[in-house]
Amino acid sequence: MSLESLRDWLHPEQFDRMVVLAPHPDDEIFGCSGLLLMAHEAGLPTEIVIASNGEACYPQLPDATRAQLAQLRPAESVVAGFALGIQARHVFLGLPDGGLPACRGVLAQELGSRVTGRSLLVSCDPRDDHPDHEAAGRAAKVVPGKHGCKLMFYRVWARVHRRATLSREQPVSLALDAVTVARKQAAARCFVTQIFPFEGAPPVISERVFETLVGSAEEYLA
């Protein structure tokens, strides 16, 4: 799949809006920047629903630092959206980072309140090598049956670990052109709490992982 072929499908005549679910601030950029840009260029209204504030990314640090991260990481996500060049609405649910498996019902209800039968819902793959990502994906899976929306999944950590999906459906690689890659990289660099050392702790996202996540392709399941 290419950006050109996706452009023919992703437009307001097909969908009334796109709702993207991200377990943590940054998953939307690392996972589906190409899709976000396509929706923006097509004039498709987009809402980014971020389940947690990502405050538990450095579990070894004290509670006061977690509270600081709960403020910093959502702000990084908003700035990253501007850097990417999109005009999406951000919604922060403030659910516990690391606790999304216990919040699947809440997530499904929130998503259901934001879609119609003509909406495109995009969530991370339930097999994305992270409990919160799995929970978000599973919550999203129940929404189309109740509301009739179209569902797509994006992959983040499964791309890093190169884990194959256990599903019969294999992910489709979405090729990103040079301009899209540059905009994605600019947006990803806004997540300074993740890509640089923080309060003496090494970064969550190493240089090697960063290069993988901001490369020239994204992976989707539809």
Return the pLDDT at 12.
Answer: 87
Q: How far apart are CA 63 and CA 162, in angstroms?
A: 33
Total count of domains within the chain:
1
pLDDT of residue 180: 97
Which amino acid makes up residue 4? E
| Span 67-123, pLDDT tens digits | 999 999 999 999 999 999 999 999 999 999 999 999 999 999 999 999 999 999 999
What is the per-residue pLDDT across 158-179, written as a single tens digit (0 to 9) for each?
Answer: 888 875 544 556 788 899 999 9
- Looking at residue 163, what is its pLDDT? 55
Give the integer Cα–Cα distance in Å for 188 and 26.
Answer: 7
CATH number, domain with residue 10: 3.40.50.10320
Please tell me the predicted confidence (pLDDT) of residue 8: 75
Does 150 have pLDDT greater than 80?
A: yes
Q: Which domain holds residue 64?
A: 3-221
Backbone angles phi, psi at 219, to 5 degrees: -120, 135
Question: Taking the model in full, what pTM does it have?
Answer: 0.94
Say what the alpha-carbon torsion angle 102, 105, 107, 112 is, to the nearest 10 degrees: 170
Distance, C-alpha 17 to centroid of its chain:
16
Give the span between the Cα atoms of 134 and 83, in whole angstroms: 28
